[in-house]
Every structure is written in structure tokens, then in C-alpha cells.
Structure 1
Amino acid sequence: MSNSNKQIESMRKVRFNSIWLVPLIAILVASWMLYQNWSSQGPVITLIASNADGLEAGKTKLKSRNVDVGRVIDIQLSDDYENAIIQVRMNNGTQQMLRDDTQFWVVKPRVGRAGVSGLGTLLSGVYINMKPGEKGELKTDFAILNQPPLSTENDGVRLILSSKEGSKLEIGALVHFRGYEVGYIEKVGFDAKKREITYQVVVRSPYDALVSSNTQFWITSGLAFKSSASGFEVRLDSLETLFSGGITFDSPAGQSTGQVIDDMSTFRLYPSKESADNNVYKDFINYVFLFDTNVSGLIAGAAVEYRGVRIGTVLDVPFNGISAEALSSLDAPYIPVRARIEPQRLNGLGTSDAISLERWHQLLGDRIDKGLRASLKIGNYVNAAKIINIDFIDNPSPVTLSKLENYSLFPTAAGGFDDIQSKVVEILDNVSQLPLSNTFEQLGRTMEEANETLRQLQAVSKSVKQLLDKSETQQLPADLSATINELNLTLETYQANGQIGRPLRENMVSLGRALNELQPLLRQLRENPNTLIFDSAPRLDIQPKAAK
């Protein structure tokens, strides 16, 4: 065989060597796996969020009904640095879920209308949830919701509630009727002109039939602590309202059901049930009460009572509607308080035989002429809460002023405690005006005269004893001698160590000591007679001076 034939034969053996099949098969398998991976992947969608808190590229999952349907592959800032751009690779076969009404939101621990949710993410991590769309065209760009979407499964009525008081409630907070969940807050806004927080709430069907024109709404804070003239009150609602708050509604007791309301009707949202109850009464008479005593403990919302029956509500303490010039023209420094008399508390709500406001004006004017007066009264001695008490008094002073700057005045009188205080002060003033100094000086002179008399009696007793010891006296008749002896015994009892002289002397010494101890008290009473009732200012300790 020639050399050329041998070379051709060797080249054929190298070309068809089986070892080259291994990398060829590996390339074919890798290509097939790449094709399978590419064919099994779904589209890449873009999610826009205000922030990417808790999200991580390559780790955060996208779920729908707790099934993995994608994964976050990239997170970047937008060109204007205002938002986070999140790229998500969807699984194959999920293209039909990406429509105009598809919704995305981040699942993390939160407190909402469904209670405490997302606690599982404490271990598994934050993920993105998806509500598949059903309407509209296919799309790949979406905005992530700040809150989970609210359910719109049930029909109902939508209402607008306006609040000037209380704290802001969040979207999704519950709406209750007598503790039963019937709706939720759908939107929250703020009216800058009226300075009111507005809530759009949904009351689901069939509970929307409970809402009428007479319905009242108020905020339930979950935990409420109240201190008033009635005492202390602690109220605890459900755990959901304890964390997120809520709204409760009901119709006032004793009032008619009211008329059927339309969708998007407007109601006022009160800060508490007590505030809602106090605003049920639409007919009232406003009065201004002028008090010349301490009004501490009287607050807005306190009761106005007649012999223990509530007939009104305090509105402003103090009332600033009267000018300082008008107040300075009065004969005393009065503090104005505005309150209203609510006749419907006595008439009843919606009764046909109710007395008109004009007739109530006449009745109150007639009773004022007969001695009806208002005074401050302590309703609760634990917290010193006060109320306005209206009652008849004996020998009332005549009413000299019925109006002040177009405000009707209700005449006032001193209350029971104030009357006692004024009498005690009057007694102390009378005591301070007594001539106590002259009395004690005269008592001191009397004690000196008593001491002098005792000394004189002691001298007489000594002289009589000396007389009896003389021989001439002993020669006197027996009767005279006995009389002198009895006189001597009598005088000895008045001496310093006698049966009468010793107690008398001790009493005089004790009286003198007591008078000396009373001198600081008498001096303090002269300077400040009220120290018998009120504590005097504590004396400060003498501060040592530093060495120079």
C-alpha cells in the first residue's frame, strides 16, 4: 500500500472516532433544555410602586390564590426617582390573567377590616399578591395598590360621612350596627374649606335597609375611658376596632324610623355615642349663665339638671361670645357659661302632644319670677366634676338683667358648697374682728390679782399662826381659841400647798401656759382667718449661706 493511501485511511479513522459524540450530545441536550425553559416561561410584566419595601430581586414571589405564578427578577428606580420599577417574570399560561382590571398589592403584616392579616410573611417573607383580571385588553404594565382591594361582591348603599372631631380612620375600617359588621370605609378625604374629614362608606345589602334619615353615626375607638359627673367608665369593643377603629350607627331610642335615604346621602359623624345622643334634640333654648364662683370641673358636655333630671347640656366654658366691655360693665367679675335647655328630654322625641318652644320660653320666664335659679353643683366628688343645677330657692334676689348683648341670661345663685364656704369665711371674719387682745390682757391682769390675793392670804395665815403661838392668845376663852384655830385651818387650805391653793395655783399656771401657746395661732388668725379651712403656705427651710 502506498503512503498516500495510508494517510487517507488514518484520516478516516480520526474523523469517525466515537469520542466526538459526547460533546455533540451535550450540546443537543443543553439546547433542548434552553428551548424547554424558554418555551415554559411567561411574559415579563412591569409593576410600579411608591416603594419596594420588603421586595428582593430573585426571591420575592408573585402569587394568586396562594399559588406561585411568577417571581421578581429586577428592581430599579424610575427616571424621575419617584417610584420603584419592579420587573416580574410570569409563569407560562398566565397571559390571560393580565388585563385592564388585574390588581396587584404587597402582602405584609397589617391590621385592616379583616382583622390582623399577613402574619405568615413574618417567616416566609413579603410577597406580591395578584387578583386576575376578567375584562379589558391584555397588558403588561400595572400599578401596585397601597392597600388590599376591598370586596365589592355585595350591593348596598354608599354614604358620605363628615367629621370635624376625632382622629382619622383608615380605608377598610369596619362599620357596625349594634356590634354586627355591616360595611366598611371605602374612601377617605379631607375638605380643606370646611376643615372636615370625609368618609365614603359602604353598607352592604340587606343591612342598607337599617339606614334612614334619622340614623346617627359615631366613631368607636375600641378602647374608651371617660370621666364625668356620673363617674368613671371604661368601654372595650372588638379587637379589630381596638387596632384600626371603626364606625357604628343606630337610630335614637324613642324616635321614628325616618325616611328612606338615597345613595351618597350625607350624614354627620360624631366623635362618640354620647355626643351623638346629645345632638338628637333639635329643639332647644340657649341661655348664658353668669357665675361669680370657681367653674373648675365644669366642662362642655356636662349636664344641666333640674332636681336630678337632665334637661340640657353645657356648650361652652367659658363662653367667649360676650365682649369684655359688656362683662366689665357688670357689678361683679362674672364668668359666662353657655348652655341649652332641651325640652325634648321631657317632651319625648316625635310625640304629638309636645309643648312648643314659645310655650317653654313663657314657662321658664314664669318660673324664674317665682325663684328658679341656677347654681354649680358637684356631680362626682371623686373627680370634682360639676354640673349646672336648676331649682327653686327661698327669698331669691330680684332679676335685674335678662339679656346681655342679645343673649338671654338665666339668673344664678350661690350653690350649697359655695354658701357654706361663704358662711365659714363670714364666721372667721367675725372672729378676727373680736377684741381678743384686750380679753387676754384683762385675763392676764386677773391672774396677777389672783396671785396677789393668794400671797396676802398666805401672809394673813402666817400672822394668825404667830398670834396663836403667843401666850396672851392662849389665855383667851376656849371658844375664841377654837374659832381662831378653824380660821387658821381654813387659811392653810388657801396657801400654796393647801387643798385649794395648790390646785388653783396649778390651774393658773396651766392657763398661763395655754395662753402662751395660743399666741402664734391668734396672730395667724388675725393675719389670715381662712387658715382654719385652707392649708397655709408651707414655710421654706432656711438656706445656709456659702462661706465667703
Structure 2
Amino acid sequence: MSTPGEKPDTRELVEADVVPRSRWRMQLVWLVPIVALLVGGWLATKAVLERGEKITISFKTGEGLEAGKTKLKFKDVDIGVVEAVTLSTDRKHVVAKAEVVRDVANLLVDNTRFWVVRPRISGGTVSGLGTLLSGSYIDVDVGNAVKPRTDFVGLEVPPVFASDIPGREFTLKSAGLGSLDVGSPVFFRRLQVGQIASYQLDPDGKGVTLKVFVNAPYDRFVKGDTRFWHASGVDMAFDTNGLRVETQSIVSIIIGGVAFESPADSIEQVAAAANAQFELYATRADAMKQHDRIVDKYVVNFIDSVRGLTVGAPVDFRGVVIGEVTQIYTRFDPEHRRFSIPVEIQIYPERFTSRYQTGRAGGRISDDPKGIANYLVENGFRFQLRSGNPLTGQLYLAMDYFPDAPKAKIDWSRSPPELPAVPRTLQSLQDSVTRLLTKLNNIPFEAIGNDARTTLRTTNSMLSKLDADVIPRAHDTLASAQTALDSANSALQPESSLQQTTEETLRELARTSAALRTLADYLSQHPEALVRGKSGGQP
């Protein structure tokens, strides 16, 4: 060990070998940024790989849409989020840009539907109440198409049924919508089996087309000849059958609905195809009417009033409806200068044949329809207005046999042909009373009254003469007659000589009769006594 002031002993030190430093040697300080870079790259790669599908959805308004908050849900599972809400270039609608997770990107096909779920009351149903607390969201209904799509138009009204619900959709044609709305129920035998899916006005403006969805398994009851009708509210009608009140349920009274049923005599067994088209009738009565293939049009001309007869009134043949009234109007006859009421009717010849028999070709009872019609008219068949219901005053047209009807023929040159009619019973009675009153008006009641007064004066004069001349004489005659009766009464008394003489005479007559009877008996036994005389010794 060296002391202060002494030089150090350098012989004990070992010289180090100098090694040149490598320019590629990594310092530990660079390890952290490298790791960070790798992690960032991995995260960026993962973000790119996991990035969802970008889509755009157009809506009429942006109500309930909020960028970064509004979710996209499928079966209540979050599958995306709205990233931005902007106006379209034409400023007529709103475009929502959203990102959908990659796992469900295959759900974005051509018929996938989007709509904003918010509180809503429609068709008697309340939906979206949960969004009052959680906020609105976009619901998704996945379609069954194959073609992918990223640009969609959102629905303003939620669909009534999801695409995966079993059942079938049908098309209804109606003259008016009535009280129906999207979501209105569809009834079958008073059970709710479906809903109204949508409706729209026809391009020509003459009707409405509705889409109805019938859930499985009830859709199999929709056959080719099934009839649909409005079941909205209470159906009340006054007709020839009286007052009718029909309804499906309390729900239909409040929000309306549609009902369907097949005719009782239907032979159709195959269920109707999806999207099959049917007519929507106003009432069940209209829907369940017999739909005839053959229709003959005629005109019946009436002179009397047709008040109470309406379009649709039945044409009746002895209790069987064979047609209906289609039009009622007036006609002026310039030749006779009078008005008449032509009533156009439709006759269904098939109703004259039995449902258990096919009849002749075409469903008619004869191959010569004109000949049959001429025969019926020639033999007294006529049309007559009759009262169907005294309370409502409704009339119907009856075809019946009137043997005393004037002769008539069908004019086949007219189109439609005109059939003869007879006045109704009340009108006939009124005409009879009118004729009677006319005859009574022709009787000279004033002259008859003057003659009667003259006769009464003559009679009074005669009675006065009777009082002065005839009555006293009659009194004397009656007195004489009384005296004669008193004398006759005295003569008939038992003690009178007349009575005794009469009794004696009667006794003599009795004895004479007995002698004659004895003589007659003897002569019958001895006729020879008339010649020889009475034999001696014989009584």
C-alpha cells in the first residue's frame, strides 16, 4: 500500500483488451417502444379485422336517432350502433350511418328491414313502451334473400309479423278501407288468427289493396273459395228478414277487423297459395251469398209505387231466392204520356235445379231458356211487389202464378228483355175501391132523394085518408068479427045443442062404417052372393 507522496506502483495493474463496439447491438432501452409498436400493430390489425360492416339507412325523420347512442338490435341483442345522422342531399329524408358487427354481416340481405322502435299505438296495440326509459333503437328483421345489400330504406311503421313467423300472407281487394288499420285483427270463427299487414290505395283510385297475414296452422283454413268480409264494429241491418245484429268480438267493435270463412257446401279442400287474391266484402251476408256462374238480366216494369224496394232486394220464387234487384229508375212513355218504374233484376238459372242434380248443360233446366220463359209467361207467371217486413216497409220481388192475369209476351228485342208484372195486392184493392167509388159517384143520389121526398109526401097523404075513412070502418069490421067469434065459441061449448048433435052424428057414422066393414068381409069370402043372393042358413 503506498504512502502519501509516493508514486503508485503500476506494475500490479493489468491492461485491458480494447474490443471495438458493434453498431447493431440493441440497447435495452429500445425494448419498450418495440413492444409498444408490436402491440399497437396487433391492435390495429385486430381492429381492421374485426371492423363491422358499414351501412346506411334512410328515414323520413331523425326522431329517436342519436349518433353514438342509438343501437341496432336483432331479437333484443345489440348488433351495431349509429355512428352519424345526416340529411340527404335533397333534404327530404335523414340518413343514418351505422356499423354492424362482422359476425352478423351476413344478415344484411336485400329484403332485410329496419325501423325505429318508439312508443306507438296502432291497430289497437301498444308497442315500444320500454323505450320510454332506455331510449329509441333500430330494430332489425332479417330477410330470406341471398343478394347482399348495404343501403336500406327504413320502415316508418313496424311490420306486423317477423319474417320467420310461420304462416302465409294473402291479398284482399276492397272498395274501401273502413275502420281497418295496420295491426287490425283477422278472425276465423271468432278466434283471432292473424293481422292486417299493410294497405294501399289502388293506382286508379277505385279501391284499396290490403295484405293480411294468417298465422300457422290457421292459414290452412284459407281455401280457394274462402270469403273475407269486414268485421268492423257492430253490423246492424233492417231488411226483409227484420233486424239483424252481428259482431265478431269486443275487439272488433273497438278497432275493427276482418273475418273469413268457407261456404258450408264448399268442396274445395286444397289450401290457397301464398299471396292469393280474394275480394273483401262489406258484410258476412254479402260474402256468403251464393256466387252463381250463370246470370240472366231482365227488366220488370211497374206502374205502382216501388217505395220500400232497394237495390239488392231478393227476387223470390215461392220462398226460394232466385235473383236480386240491381237497378231502379224511372221511364216516361211519350205514347201513353205516363211514368213507369223499370226495375232491373238478375236471375240465376242454376237455382232452379237441385244441388244434388247436375241438370242440363250449362246448369239450366232446359236447353231452350227463351222457350221456358215464354211458356211460363203464357201460363200466368208474373212478377209482383210484396212486403217482406211490415215493420220496416221493405219490399221484395216475387215471381208467382196468377191464372187471371192478362195475356202478355216477352219482348226479346229489348236489352235486357222486359218481363210482365201485376200490381201488388194492396194496389189491386186500392184500384177496386177506386172503381167502386167511381160507380158510386155516377149514382144520382140527389134525384133519388127528391123522389123519396115526393113518395113520403104521398104516403103521408094516404095515411091521413086512412085515419079519416078506413080506420073507422076497420073498427066496425073488427067488432063484427069479434061478435062472430063469440057466437062460434058458444056453439062449440060441451053443453050446446050443436056439440051434442055433432057427437050423435059421429056415433052413427061409426056404426055405419062397422056395417060396411062386415059386408065387405062377407063379400070377400062369398063373392057369389052378389049373383045368387045370401044362402039360406048362413049368417
CA shift, 1:385, in A, is 0.3
**2:142 pairs with 1:131:** no
CA deviation profile, 1:33-60 (whole Å, cap 9, x unmatched): xxxxxxxxxxxx998654688x7999x9
Letter in 1 for 2:256: G
Please give the alpha-carbon distance, in whole angstroms, between the structure 2 residues aligned to 1:126 and 1:287: 68
SS at match of 2:441: helix
Q: Structure 2 vs 1, CA of residues 126 and 372 (structure 1 numbering), >3 Å: closer, same or farther?
A: farther
Deviations 1:58-110 (A, max 9, x none): 9x9989789999999x999988675578999x9xx999899854633354452
The one-letter code sitting in structure 1 at the alignment partner of 2:380 is G
Q: Which amino acid letter does the alignment assign opposite residue 277 of structure 1? A: M
- TM-fit CA distance, 1:290: 0.9
> Please, which of 322, 327, 343 is the counterpart of residue 316 of structure 1?
327
Structure 1 residue 197, shift from structure 2 partner? 1.7
Does structure 2 retain, via aligned residues, the 8 Å contact 1:97–1:134?
no
CA contact (8 A) 1:61 1:68 kept: no
Partner of 1:187: 198
Q: What SS does structure 2 have at the residue aligned with 1:243?
A: helix
Report the counterpart of residue 163 of structure 1 in structure 2: 174
Rounded Cα–Cα distance in structure 2 between residues aligned with 1:48 and 1:235:
45
Q: For 1:393, which of 386, 397, 402 is the aligned residue?
A: 402
Return the offset for 1:164: 3.1
Contact 1:219–1:269 under 8 Å retained in 2? yes
Shift of 1:280: 1.6
1:336 aligns with 2:347: no
Give, in angstroms, the shift of residue 168 of structure 1. 6.8
Larger radius of gyration: 2
How big is the shift at 1:259? 5.2
Tell me if the contact between 2:169 and 2:214 (Cα under 8 Å) persists in the aligned partners: yes
Residue 129 of structure 1 and its aligned partner are, at CA, apart by: 5.3
| Mapping 1:145-544, distance limit 5 Å | 145-164=156-175, 167=178, 169-193=180-204, 195-257=206-268, 261-318=272-329, 328=334, 333-349=339-355, 351-353=357-359, 356-357=363-364, 359=366, 361=369, 362-440=371-449
String of CA shifts for 1:487-516, please: whole Å, max 9, x gaps.
xxxxxxxxxxxxxxxxxxxxxxxxxxxxxx
8 Å contact 2:350–2:364 — kept in the other structure? Answer: no
In 2: Cα distance, 1:202 partner to 1:161 partner:
11
The 1-side partners of 2:90 and 2:134 are apart by 26
Shift in CA distance, 394/175, structure 1 to aligned 2, threshold 3 Å: same
- TM-score, normalised on structure 2? 0.60
Q: Distance in 2 between matches of 1:233 and 1:332?
A: 39
RMSD (Å), alpha carbons = 5.0
Classify 1:258/1:349 alpha carbon distance in 2 versus 1 (closer, same or farther; 3 Å).
farther
Would you say the 8 A contact 1:175–1:246 is kept in 2? yes
Q: Which amino acid aligns with 2:345?
A: A
* Aligned-partner SS, 1:426: helix
On the 8 A contact 1:96/1:138 being kept in 2, the answer is no
* Equivalent residue letter for 2:283: S
Flag the 1:271–1:149 CA change in 2: closer, same or farther, 3 A: closer
Classify the secondary structure of the residue corresponding to 1:192. coil
Of all paired residues, the percent bearing the same amino acid is 21
In structure 1, what is the Cα distance between the partners aligned to 2:340 and 2:113? 67
Aligned 8 A contact 2:56 2:150 in 1: no
The letter for the 2-side match of 1:164 is A
Q: 1:138 to 1:452 in 2, by over 3 A?
A: closer
CA offset digits 1:133-167 (Å, max 9, x no partner) = 66899989974523454333333333332223563
TM-score normalised by L of structure 1: 0.59
Aligned partner of 2:121 in structure 1 is: 110
**Secondary structure of 1:334's partner?**
strand
The whole-number CA distance in structure 1 between the counterparts of 2:153 and 2:373 is 68
8 Å CA contact 2:374–2:409 kept in 1: the answer is: no
The residue type paired with residue 276 of structure 2 is: S
Which residue of the partner structure matches residue 471 of structure 1?
none
Cα distance between partner residues in 2 of 1:76 and 1:190? 32
Distance 1:79 1:416, change over 3 A: same
- How far apart, in 2, do the equivalents of 1:201 and 1:317 lie? 36
Give the deviation of 1:292 after TM superposition: 1.0
Task: For residue 339 of structure 2, give the secondary structure of its aligned residue in structure 1.
Answer: coil
Using the alignment, how far apart are the partners of 1:50 and 1:81 within structure 2? 10
* Residue 248 of structure 1: how far off its partner (Å): 2.3
Would you say the 8 A contact 1:97–1:132 is kept in 2?
no
* Distance change (3 Å), C-alpha of 1:242 and 1:78: farther
One-letter amino acid of the counterpart of residue 407, structure 2: P
CA distance in 2, matches of 1:401, 1:137: 70
Alpha-carbon distance in 1 for matches of 2:61, 2:458: 102
Question: Which whole-Å CA distance do the structure 1 matches of 2:179 and 2:60 have between them?
Answer: 22
What amino acid is the match of 1:357?
Answer: R
- CA, structure 1 residues 415+138, in 2 after alignment: closer, same or farther (shift >3 Å)? closer
Over 3 Å counting, the alpha-carbon distance change for 1:160 and 1:409 in structure 2 is same
Deviation, 1:271, is: 1.8
Greater shift, 233-242 or 250-259, is seen at 250-259
Partner residue, 1:494: none
Counterpart contact for 1:375–1:415, Cα < 8 Å: yes
Cα shift readout 1:276-312 (whole Å, capped 9, x = no counterpart): 2335222233221111111111112211112222222
- Structure 2, unmatched stretches of 5+, are 1-54, 477-539
The one-letter amino acid paired with 2:195 is Y
